Amino acid sequence: MANETLGSIECLTCKNMMDVCQANRRGHHLYTRCPECKSDQTTGATRQTRLWYETKWRDDLPDGVPIKPSNVVDRVLTETLTEPLTDEASNSAASDDLTESDFLTETLTETKPKGSVGRLVGFVLLSLVVGVGAWKMA
């Protein structure tokens, strides 16, 4: 038995409107039924994210329906990065003294890999154990 239609979205292939449904299994992935292209049940993060954010949901859905699929990527960060600059913002950005290479250097130095201290401690302890073992054997 087919699941209930929760909304609709335009098909990228044939430009028809297709139904969006949700699987009841683990992950609660969304899938589509297009009159021309038929069913598409792919569960990749890119497709699930597009379906989650671009579907026109029915107005009569109960609270908690649909359930957000487990692999939907949050779009807030990507939308703020891709917004075009206004004239005022581009003028202030042009007047900054940072060049692109300075910005990249500053960004790279601010983001340190997590767990580097733990790796260092582990390496020191391993070296100590190997050193003591070699010393006792001699």
Count Cβ atoms below 10 Å from residue 20 Cβ, excluding itself. Answer: 22
Burial class (CB within 10 angstroms; exposed 0-12, middle 13-18, buried 19+) of 1 = exposed
Per-residue pLDDT, 49: 93
Alpha helices in the chain (DSSP H): 45-54, 76-82, 87-95, 100-110, 116-137
Q: Is residue 17 part of a domain?
A: yes
Tens digits of per-residue pLDDT, 42-96?
999 999 999 999 999 999 988 888 999 989 988 765 555 566 666 665 555 555 5
More confident residue, 102 or 10: 10
Name residue, tokens 């767990």.
Answer: 115
Q: Is residue 74 part of a domain?
A: yes
How many domains is the chain partitioned into structurally?
1
Per-residue pLDDT, 136: 78
What is the value of pTM for the model shown?
0.53
More confident residue, 44 or 105: 44
Q: Is residue 44 part of a domain?
A: yes
Instruction: Find the farthest-apart pair of alpha carbons in the chain and give their distance in angstroms, rounded.
Output: 80
Tens digits of per-residue pLDDT, 10-23?
999 999 999 999 99
Q: Is residue 51 part of a domain?
A: yes
Q: Is residue 60 part of a domain?
A: yes
**Residue 6 confidence class, pLDDT cut points 50, 70, 90:** very high
Report how far residue 104's alpha carbon sits from residue 119's, in angstroms, rounded to the nearest whole number.
Answer: 26
Q: Is residue 12 part of a domain?
A: yes
Q: Is residue 90 part of a domain?
A: no
Q: Contact, 7 vs 20, CB < 8 A? A: yes
Domain span at residue 66 reads 1-82
Q: Is the pLDDT of residue 133 over 60?
A: yes
Name residue, tokens 């009569």.
Answer: 60
Q: Is residue 20 part of a domain?
A: yes
The gap from C-alpha 80 to its chain's centroid, in whole angstroms, comes to 14
Q: Is the pLDDT of residue 120 over 60?
A: yes
